[in-house]
Structure 1
Amino acid sequence: MFRTLLGSVLIGVAVACSTGLGGAGDYEYIEDPVFTMEISPPIGWTYFPTKASDAANTQVWFFPGQANDSVHADQRADAELRAAMMDAIAAANIPLYGVDIANDYTSLQVENSLGNTKGVGPLYGKVESGALTQTAAGAGAAVDMIFQPYSKQVKVSVYNAGATRYNWNIVKNTFMQKLTLNFNSRFVGEVVISKT
């Protein structure tokens, strides 16, 4: 009887240790997490130059939905990142009272390349599904632009909130869903959750 009891206790302890209790598993408690991601930002999080770099291309130098300046682009990015994160936290049943959300996103000036194969401006872009996915530096009037995939690292910090990694994974998945479907972000890779 005692051996059976002792054996079942040892097996229970071994199983508990292997499932991540006290480790980096789903039961790890994380307070004030930081979500680090690589995204192709929505075009609304960028802004166009005050005038076209190429005098012949003045009618299409901006993208529809693009901000007029860096202030508006940063405000829109901040509002949409906050909205997506707050919706995600609420979906995971984590209390929102006193929670603060911050991010390190900075907007980018980019010009529409429509109708241009050669550009003299500083940076041209291509949009797919509402996100800026490719950029090319203006190469001059004689050289064709070469577009490269574009993504940017963004960190979103949540303050005054704590939960298990399991709950933060629910937040992460809902956050990605909200940013993708509601605001046209495109994720490049996985979102990583870390402690501050």
Structure 2
Amino acid sequence: MKKMIVLMLTLLVSVGVFTGCSKQTSAEPEADQLATITLKAILNQDYKTIYQYSQENYRQSMKDDVHGDPAFSGNSDEDIEEKEILNPGTYEKMKKHGDYLYGSYHGFLNEKGVILYYLDGYFNGSRQVRLFELQKEKNEWKIVRYNTWRNSTVHEKQDYYMMLIGEGKDKDVQVFHRGDYYSRK
């Protein structure tokens, strides 16, 4: 009976240690929450939501008539508020299918207050990559880029940071989801 109790206690402690070590906690849960909203908006092409959560300077650059983002260029705030979601359900289909890699790199958090997010997956009939960047501004997270990472952040090493997230081994990386295809790499 004593051996059985010792064995059960040992097993219980082992399971507790294993699950405690394997569970990854977020460095910035508020940023990750906005990242989920942003990712859904990007995939569903919900430009109203992207605009709503974007940094003010980024909003202005998106609306620029010459160099702005085609989804926003020449639009007023009122025009953007009236935009409809162009691809509703794309995010939900991707989540249901499950074969994607989604993660973040927090290595610029202390220096620049920035987190890079990366999605690589199969949706809308082909493999696609989505990159976006959030920055903390006055204790609030904002989108500062929704279709790529800023060169001022990654200094022409975009592929390197994508690889780090893909591997998921760096201390500054958090992988939120890794589908079957991405587990075999």
TM-score by length of 2: 0.30
Higher strand share: 1
With a CA cutoff of 8 Å and minimum separation of 6, indicate the structure with the bigger relative contact order: 1
User: Which entry has the higher C-alpha Rg, 1 or 2?
Assistant: 1
Q: TM-score, normalised by structure 1?
A: 0.29
